[in-house]
Amino acid sequence: MIKAIIFDLDNTLINLLKLKQMAVEHAVAAMIDAGLDFSKKEIMDAIDQVYKEKGIEYQHVFDDVLLKLIKKIDYKILSAGVTAYRKVKAAYLDTYPGVIPTLIKLIKRGYKLGIISDAPKLQMWTRLCDIRLQHFFDFVISAEDTEKKPGELPFKKALDVTGLKPGEIMMVGDSLTRDVVGAKRMGMISVLAKYGEEQGVVGVDRVEKADVKPDYVINKFEDLLNLV
């Protein structure tokens, strides 16, 4: 019997990849307008390379791109890009459809809810506050608390926090190689959030290969209610 449900955050509760794509494109346009004399494709390719080298959460991508393209940081151009990026992020960061009412129903049904995320702790909590979900969860585990998925430590911590058996916990996430592999390794029930897949997003290689199948697949968040 399921007693707790754990969620990944990015691209499970919030559509971060689509948001990041929009924000980056607006930032590029702003930097070109501020005097960066390169084509959109050249700048996007440079951004993509930085994200692939340093990770999608890297906070100084535009600095690195300027150093790569013009060998210095032009603060007029940098500020234009950062400001445009932040405006788009603030305007469009939101949950997937159905997330909040579904979480409320799960809470009313008595399930413990938690998050296991690879995002840095500050960014994770900032996003939760931005989407008004900071009070919905009984526990939140970041990579800084343990390690990144699919390592065993975040899942073991969830077992310790809840005091439950693995078979009493369901893990919901968009990544086959991180969420599903990590959950099944611990004996938890795994759910792949198929709606969280995004292709062609800057800095992200979404091609995943893993010899594992999730216990369930959902195509929209509220489908979760049919599984518990």
| Measured CA angle at 119 (ends 66, 149), to 5 deg | 125
* Total count of residues recorded for the chain: 228
Q: Omega of the bond prior to 150 within 30 degrees of 0, cis?
A: yes
Record the pTM: 0.83
* Cβ atoms of residues 78 and 62 within 8 Å: yes
Report all structural domains of the chain as residue ranges with CATH numbers, in order of start.
Answer: 4-14+95-226 (3.40.50.1000), 17-92 (1.10.150.520)
Strand partners, 6: 114, 171
- The pLDDT profile of the chain, 228 residues, written as one tens digit per residue, is 999 999 999 999 998 888 888 999 999 999 999 999 999 999 999 999 999 898 887 889 999 999 999 999 999 999 999 999 999 988 888 999 999 999 999 999 999 999 999 988 998 999 999 899 999 999 999 999 999 999 999 999 999 999 999 999 999 999 999 999 999 999 999 999 999 876 555 555 555 566 789 999 999 999 999 999
